[in-house]
Amino acid sequence: MNGEMKTYIPQTIRTILVIGCGGTGSYLVQGLAKMIHGYNLDLDVKLIDPDIIEEKNISRQNFEPCDVGWSKAESLSFRMSERYGVDFKVIMDKCENVKMPYRDFLVVTCVDRIAPRKIFKDVSMWLDLGNGESQGQAIFGTTSSKKSIGEALKNWDKSPFVSDLPNAFLKVGMSTLKDKKTKRRVSCAEMAFSEQGCFVNEESAQAGLNILHQILVCGKLSVPAIYFDFRKGRKIPASITKEYLDV
């Protein structure tokens, strides 16, 4: 039956790379630290962001006025160590310069451009968080190969588990998307709340943390994507069905 739901069992995860520590990433990092501390998880977490905290970041991102002038990644690492006793490593570099992860890595992208995300389309475990003015999504996947997803569909009736999940590259159609060209690209930190919702970053981070909880704490995943839309008052979890795999 097409409506039948399946489960994905993640491989062992030893390292998490969080790409982007700004609007969404700063909230995601705090929730991840709380999860690691609360469940005593043994994970190596690396925070990757070259940016420095500016005054314009304070109203939208998870920083304090006293953080201005600090590296975003360093500030979060220090605060998470003080609050939760976790040791998050810091890489102050662009994600374009990050070495391609090994198979026991989970990559979490919290960036607002398409180009950097495409770098990680072939990573075996990728959680992508994205949002717009009042809507957003969190999508976990294992492959950008339609052939691999086709194989998973062929074996649909043979097991209660699926071997692969389409990642954000497939689900969002990133192959056809390009970053908008403007004279000066306005970052989300500079947008008024009337242009991008006051809580949209936190909601995107919360959706991602829900998925991470399934993977890291429960050890199995039945909802690989969560979509939300404030204007319509909706939050929609996407289960693993044949329709979901049909990309």
Does residue 2 lie within any of the structural domains? no
For residue range 26-39, what is the model confidence (pLDDT) as tens digits? 999 999 999 999 99
For residue range 57-67, what is the model confidence (pLDDT) as tens digits? 998 899 999 99
Q: How confident is the model at residue 81 (pLDDT cuts 50, 70, 90)?
A: very high
Q: How confident is the model at residue 174 (pLDDT cuts 50, 70, 90)?
A: confident
Q: How confident is the model at residue 162 (pLDDT cuts 50, 70, 90)?
A: very high
Higher-confidence position of 18 and 182: 18
Burial of 113 (0-12, 13-18, 19+ CB in 10 A): middle
How far, in whole angstroms, is CA 41 from its chain's centroid? Answer: 19
Classify strands 135-141 and 126-131 as parallel, antiparallel or unpaired: antiparallel
Quote the number of domains for the chain.
1
Task: Give the residue numbers spanning the domain of 44.
Answer: 15-245
Does residue 183 lie within any of the structural domains? yes
**Residue 219 and residue 142: Cα distance in Å, rounded?**
15
Per the confidence metrics, is the pTM higher than 0.95? no
**Residue 76 and residue 27: Cα distance in Å, rounded?**
10
For residue range 104-135, what is the model confidence (pLDDT) as tens digits? 799 999 998 888 888 899 999 999 999 988 89
Burial of 237 (0-12, 13-18, 19+ CB in 10 A): middle
pLDDT at 127: 98
pLDDT at 222: 98
Q: What is the mean pLDDT of residues 188-210?
A: 78
**C-alpha pair distances (Å), 64 with each of 29, 128, 165:** 15, 26, 38
Q: The CATH number of the domain where 101 resides is what?
A: 3.40.50.720
Phi first, then psi: what are they for 113, rounded to 5°? -125, 155
Higher-confidence position of 180 and 146: 146
